[in-house]
A and B are shown apart, each in its own frame.
Chain A
Amino acid sequence: MLQLGIKELAKYPFLAETGDYLRDKGFNLEQLSDPDWKPVVEKAYGRIVVATTGQIYGGDLENPDLEILSFVIAIILLKSAGISTLNRRFSLAEARRAERYLEQGLNALQKDRSILENLKLKEESIQSSLKIIQDQFSIRVKMEDDRLKISIADYLRRAAHFNEREWKLVNRRVENGYVYLSSHEIVRLVRKELDVYINSKIQSVRVSFIPETFRERVEDLVLLAKKFTTTVIVSSDYPPCVKHAIEVMDRGENLPHSGRFMLATYLLAKGQTIEQITPLFKNAPDYNERITKYQLEHIAGSSGKATKYSCPSCEKLKSENLCFAIPECDGIINPVQFGTRRKTNA
């Protein structure tokens, strides 16, 4: 097994190797109580705060010890606060951060390595990207004349669960059992697993005692979390177009008006109340509670002119690029019909 250098570990501090690193260095929790460690605790706290805003913590690879330790302490803080929303946001942000490094490593692989200046460092970053993708996600990334490829089965296991058309296998370069992808696309494929993996790492950590110096920041985290108490439940019975819209909103990305309209009318048609629906729009970049509520009431027909809007047809949604039909969509003309018709099996 290839041992990661400390610089590499600073990129991926969630790996099991971090345990070995801490043991080697002889760190323990009691030691961390020392006020000398305050700056590291602050850095750890900052790392969490950045994560909760949906941004990606930049970090400083020139100081790998600090990087690794602040990650470890961040986890201790999170465990002490014990709030799963924070854990989720943190693991998501850390996953995004790791994605960047994985992508850099794969990029380096594609370039002609002989002209790179710091050959050894590049080599390490390539090797760690390949190793992590293979060890954690069982994908062997191969290279063929400067192009990266993975097996079709490995590709389908992830991409078939995405909704966007460009991820359909038919829209990929496929040859001889392989799918050709950019480094960015390969990393995008494992995004979810990476997130789940980091989250499970956080879950599995046991903290026996909390150093006194941490208490204040733990309390701050509890306060911080109050802002994010509403979480969205995505039902597996929703049609793909609705799921997609919820995911986009949840990621805090921008969903066009037509998409929001579809989402609202669909959920209203399914008997949800305006109060239940409003939080869905919370993560939107342009969220304004009052306006959102007003708009929803308008759509529901409960304010002003009492026109009740119904969910747009599949055909309309298709023309707006909001449809991500799957075979279960066969034979329906409106998303509200999704899942209500049993399919007969021959």
Chain B
Amino acid sequence: MGQGERQMLEKNVNFVEAALKEYYFNNFELIHVSSRTSEREFGYQKFNSGMVRHITIKNDKDLHFLLMTQMPSDVYCSNGYYSFPNLPMSEKDWKEADLIFDIDAKDLKLACRKDHTCFKCNSCQNVNEQSSKCVKCNSDKFDVISVNCQNCINEAKKEVKKLVQVLTEDLAINEEKILVYFSGNEGFHIHVINSEYQSLDSRERADLADYIMFNGVIPETMGISRQNNSKTSLPDIGERGWRGRVAREIFGSKSKRPKIIQEILLGGYSNFQSRLEEMRQKIGVRIDPKVTMDIHRIFRLGGSINSKSGLSKISCNNLESFDPFSDACVLGDEKVEILANCPISFILKNKKYGPYVSETISVPKHAAVYMICKGLADVPQDSEN
């Protein structure tokens, strides 16, 4: 949340709102309401203000009208389908909901994270490279700001691939029903539409999420019990589902199998249990379970701009070749001047930016919006727009 709650200066708000409006206005053909529109709840946010929820939007035209008149910072649409989407939650009459997944590079906690994270002081707004205390004013309250990172995105992509594999192989969800989007910031959103899992409630989805994350597995499932273990009940690399994945993880090649089995049987129950726990980090899919178990969530609308970055929540047709920092970077290219204070560098549309130390720079609009949204730049005093 941290970043989203930060107040934005009015001159910055005006600049970003104008940039978003311009983009939407020129690209109406890319901005659509979700399917089964009349059954969905929509919501939006404006800069520096709260969420407006429980509204209905009839069609693309109404959506475009909202984008032009309200100039929202972010637009959301429910994964749930309701009889009365615009009534309060208790009266909506929930029917079913798409399965949704959020894979966020932040949750992967990779080693590279510290290299593209900085800390903005809450009292003096100075941007620090470390979080012990502000070099300007000694305060120790910060907003954590991270900029994009190729490594993080590559790792997040791996999680998406693991997820799609579990969804198609284990849950038998047809690949056509799985829609993969870049989240518009540091991860991916996966929507599964029209599956036989639509009617599951929150608790049932929580267990499904645990399955996908390989959470809560007991050694017995892999054929190890507290007593009398034999090698015959251990999983085989040819098996499907988690048993197969675990087998491929621990046995690797056929030749090593007898030796490893010996080790496992000798090691006993609790050793194997901790082994499974370690494995979960690696083979489990790192989704955010809170998102998946939420059947009333309003989730960022595909095609809309994410105000944490100015990047678009864009659909990725080919995950392998997808480059979010070019493909989702959709705002204008014309040069604008900003006052940047950005101690770390980042790449957009194959061009490297930063580091900048309180300097006025002239950069393409998409990079300007990116830095302003991140809180790493301001519109200069005398030039609004």
Contact = CB atoms under 8 A, between A and B. Distances in A.
A255 interface: no
Contacts of A189: none
B355 interface: no
A174 B211 CA distance: 10
Contacts of A344: 1
A326 B173 CA distance: 26
B203 A161 contact: yes
A176 B172 CA distance: 5
Contact of A160 (B172, B173, B206): B206
A187 to B, nearest CB: 20
Contact of B240 (A159, A175, A345): A175
B210 A169 contact: yes
Contacts of B215: 170
B63 interface: no
B220 A326 contact: no
Contacts, number: 83
Contacts of A168: 207, 210-211, 216-217
Chain A: number of interface residues, binned into ranges: 20 to 34
A153 B200 CA distance: 7
A166 interface: yes
A327 B211 CA distance: 13
B110 interface: no
Contacts of B240: 174-176
A120 to B, nearest CB: 36
Nearest to B4: A346
A342 interface: no
Contacts of B216: 165, 168, 170-171
A152 interface: yes
Interface string B154-171: 000000000000000111
B221 A175 contact: no
A159 B196 contact: no
Contacts of B361: none
Contacts of B206: 160, 326-327
A157 B198 CA distance: 12
Interface string A147-166: 00001110011011100011
Contacts of B200: 153, 156-157
Contact of A170 (B203, B204, B221): B221
Nearest to A168: B216
Interface string B17-28: 000000000000
A23 interface: no
Contact of B210 (A151, A170, A174, A345): A170
14 contacts: A152-B197, A160-B207, A166-B221, A168-B217, A169-B211, A170-B215, A170-B216, A171-B220, A173-B241, A174-B170, A174-B171, A177-B173, A326-B206, A327-B289
Interface of A: 151-153, 156-157, 159-161, 165-166, 168-178, 326-327, 344-346
Interface of B: 1, 169-173, 196-197, 199-200, 203-204, 206-208, 210-211, 214-218, 220-221, 240-243, 289-290, 293-294
Given A160-B207, A169-B210, 9 more contacts: A151-B196, A160-B204, A168-B211, A173-B243, A174-B170, A176-B172, A177-B196, A327-B289, A346-B1
